[in-house]
Amino acid sequence: MKLILIGYMGSGKSSVGKKLATVLKCPFIDLDAYIESQEQKTISQLFQQKGEIYFRKKERKYLEELLKGTAPIVLATGGGTPCYGDAMKYLVTHKDTRTVYLQCDLDTLTNRLFHEKDQRPLISHLNDKEALNDFIRKHLFERSFYYNQAELKVPVKHLNIDEVVEHVVGKLI
């Protein structure tokens, strides 16, 4: 089985994914890190030098590449991955995959991302929490249609990583 974690940036996909992979005894792959290794550039560099459309095309190519294999994996997607083209449909209909939406509330995302904004190209230009909060609110509204198509939805606001993992594993059994 391939377990696909989706959700907004800062929702915990990578942190939860690493722990889930350990519990499920399978490899963890962060799609953004995989793209960076294949392209030999950071996500920020790809956005700056090649633009978002180039990035999204490469993102889809590598997503398909990773899902072609038969081995079980836990894959953390980028926050926008399921929202471009038919990516979400591809994820939910691909054989032997389970999609999990890590639902994180607006205030938690704002607080987490404000301290990481310089490393995140989509929000690096936002200079105060109010602007960041407005940006995230708009994105969550736009992306909720895609995120909510996931097979499992896990509200993560009051849960630590171990509790999220326990919840997901419990739903898989």
Binding-site residue numbers for Mg(2+) are: 14
3 state SS for 47-114: HHHHCHHHHHHHHHHHHHHHHHCCCCEEEECCCCHHHCCCHHHHHHHCCCEEEEEEECCHHHHHHHHH
**Cα separation, 60 vs 55, whole angstroms:** 9
The annotated binding site is made up of: 10-15, 32, 56, 79, 120, 143
Binding positions for ATP: 10-15, 120
Instruction: Sort 109 into a burial class: Cβ within 10 Å, 0-12 / 13-18 / 19+.
Output: buried
Q: Which DSSP symbol is given to 119?
A: G
Question: Which parts are annotated binding residues for substrate?
Answer: 32, 56, 79, 143
Rg (CA), the chain: 15
Q: How far apart are CA 112 and CA 157, in angstroms?
A: 12
